[in-house]
Amino acid sequence: MSLYFWVIILAFAGPLALSFDKKVHYYTHIKSVFSAILIIGGAFIIWDQIFTDAGVWGFNPRYIQGWYIGRLPLEEILFFVIVPYNCLFIHEVQKAYFPSLNLGRTSLISQLLFISFGVVLMYFGSSYYYTLSAVGASFLLLLLAFQTRQIFIPRFFLTYLIALVPFLIVNGILTGFSTPEPIVWYSESHIVGWRIGTIPVEDLYYNFSMLFPMVWIHERFLSVRK
């Protein structure tokens, strides 16, 4: 198997094995989880395809299996299933184990930092496709959630902060932290150029834009089911 495939499978192993934890009962949420993944993951696969065609990013054939759907390797398609699955797992774990946390202040600080840095990023990256689209999409989603007074926002920001740990590990590997060449490369002409190690900072907002609406849909399904 390719290195990219191994990264995805190993990232999936822990959450999959713990999906039957008696306190979390994550396996009972499969319908809402995969509904969210199908709706939002499908949209992001289209986004991914468009940006791959435009040369915003691409994939190193040295580290992929060689099976493609359109311009995307199979491993990249799996990314949009496994990463959201893992994030929703984190979301349900912290809800189950810490149901009474007072998240108001933590959430407010996180939101202010997220928005403030995004504004700075958009200012300096106003001519870059990936910068504008990733930050702009996350801001539009937050605005819509604020306007509709979604109560899951504080809980999501905790999920997002926790998910940053595996995110930095997985994305670090994919962008070349531990390999001679990156598995996924980014065109410097489409990003502002600021990185966390080898990870373009835009990825923070791209992942937010993907995971936030997935949690939103997941929570919506759960509320209807009650």
pLDDT for the residue 164: 93
Per-residue model confidence as pLDDT tens digits over 179-188: 999 999 999 9
Q: In angstroms, rounded to a whole number, what is the distance separating the alpha carbons of residues 72 and 48?
A: 8
**How far is Cα 130 from Cα 48, in angstroms, rounded to an integer?**
11
DSSP string, 68-106: EETTEEHHHHHHHHHHHHHHHHHHHHHHHH-TT---HHH
pTM of the model: 0.93
pLDDT digits (tens, 9 = 90+) for 22-39: 888 898 888 999 999 999
What mean pLDDT value characterizes the chain?
93
pLDDT at 7: 94
Cα–Cα–Cα angle for 193, 90, 8, rounded to 5 degrees: 60
What pLDDT does residue 225 have?
64
Looking at the predicted structure, is the pLDDT value of residue 226 above 60?
no
Determine the structural domain holding residue 47 and report its residue range.
3-225
- The number of folded domains in the chain is 1
**How do residues 91-129 score in pLDDT, each as one tens digit?**
999 999 988 888 878 888 999 999 999 999 999 998 999
